[in-house]
Amino acid sequence: MIRSMYSGISGLKNFQTKLDVIGNNIANVNTYGFKKGRTVFKDLISQTTAGATAPTETRAGVNAKQIGLGSQLAAIDTIHSGGSLQTTGNTLDLAISGDGFFQVADGNDGSLEDDRLYTRAGNFYMDSEGYLVNSDGKYLVGEDGSIQIPVESQSMTIGQDGTVTYVDEAGELIDAGQIQLAKFPNNGGLTKEGSNYYRQSPSSGEPSPGIALTEGLGTINSGFLEMSNVDLSEEFTDMIVAQRGFQANTRIITTSDSILEELINLKR
């Protein structure tokens, strides 16, 4: 009975964690480029009360007798499936269809090698000097460093391969650079930094920079934004399952307590 109590406590803790992840998913249902989380459980060690025996000439083998001691959290995965694309009509709103991440960094010296962050949120802007930046002021990384558009240019376009072009004052089409994407051997190993950013980790592997439409990278769609991949119907279903699991584990604790009370009351 004491074992069942502690098994119930482990279940309560795990389902609380599951509800925390579900709550975060629902809170970010309209966050651009957000990737939902998923909790995975596994059982704890089992107490062996009798070991297995091998068969003999006269008797068959006997299975081991083991009592499970509860559950534990195996992983909190990030599901990097693509979200739906929302049309905005804004040239600097970019969405990736397929694999890859935008790279952003501090500084506009052309190298942008230090402290790079990765994101799927493609809501970019043009600053006062014509550099392409995100809402935090970080520079969008191109193949040759940061990308700058003259402020006096008449118009600009971004192709599916990330090529940025603009029309200058003389009406000539000028190439301003090409957006560089990055992919990882293990997207699930990336560390969430908040503000739609991911950071490289030992589990994610080294980033492989490249151009859209090459080396397994997706296409860049101008005038679109990638929405969150959170499915509300799935999240609410998981919430119900977690709630019932939490309730079931509380019943295990209260039932074990009732039996202990009966045992204590045997002697009066």
Q: What is the pLDDT of residues 76-102, one digit of tens each?
A: 999 999 999 999 999 999 999 999 999
Q: Answer whether residue 105 shows pLDDT above 70.
A: yes
d(CA 73, CA 71) in angstroms, rounded, equals 7
Q: Where are the domains of the chain?
A: 2-49+63-80+230-264, 85-226
Q: Which of the 8 DSSP states describes residue 115? A: T
pLDDT class of 263 with cuts at 50, 70, 90: confident
- Hey, how many other C-beta atoms are within 10 angstroms of the C-beta on 53? 12
pLDDT of residue 80: 94
Mean pLDDT of 175-185: 93
What is residue 57's three-state secondary structure? coil
pLDDT of residue 268: 65
pLDDT class of 113 with cuts at 50, 70, 90: low
Q: Which of 23, 8, 14 is nearest to 42 (CA)?
A: 14
pLDDT of residue 171: 81
pLDDT of residue 139: 93
- As given in the structure block, the two tokens for residue 197 are 């950013």
pLDDT of residue 1: 65
Identify which has the larger pLDDT, 115 or 134: 134
pLDDT class of 66 with cuts at 50, 70, 90: confident
Phi, psi of 257 (to 5 degrees): -65, -40
- As given in the structure block, the two tokens for residue 93 are 């709103």
pLDDT of residue 46: 85
Torsion of CA 253, 257, 260, 261, to 10 degrees: -170
Mean pLDDT of 250-256: 91
Could you tell me where the beta strands, DSSP code E, fall in 79-230?
A: 85-87, 94-97, 101-105, 117-119, 125-126, 132-133, 139-142, 145-146, 155-158, 163-167, 173-178, 181-183, 191-194, 197-199, 208-210, 219-222, 224-226
Q: Answer whether residue 179 shows pLDDT above 80.
A: yes
- For the chain, the average pLDDT equals 91
What is residue 202's three-state secondary structure? coil
Contacts of 88 (CB under 8 A, 6+ apart): 223, 224, 225
pLDDT class of 233 with cuts at 50, 70, 90: very high
Q: Answer whether residue 107 shows pLDDT above 90.
A: no
pLDDT class of 198 with cuts at 50, 70, 90: very high
Say if CB 94 and CB 103 are below 8 A apart. Answer: no
Say if CB 180 and CB 162 are below 8 A apart. Answer: yes
d(CA 165, CA 147) in angstroms, rounded, equals 10
What is residue 49's three-state secondary structure? strand
Q: Answer whether residue 110 shows pLDDT above 60.
A: no
Q: Answer whether residue 267 shows pLDDT above 80.
A: no
pLDDT class of 111 with cuts at 50, 70, 90: low
Mean pLDDT of 260-267: 84
Q: Answer whether residue 184 shows pLDDT above 90.
A: yes
Phi, psi of 16 (to 5 degrees): -65, -40
Q: Answer whether residue 112 shows pLDDT above 70.
A: no
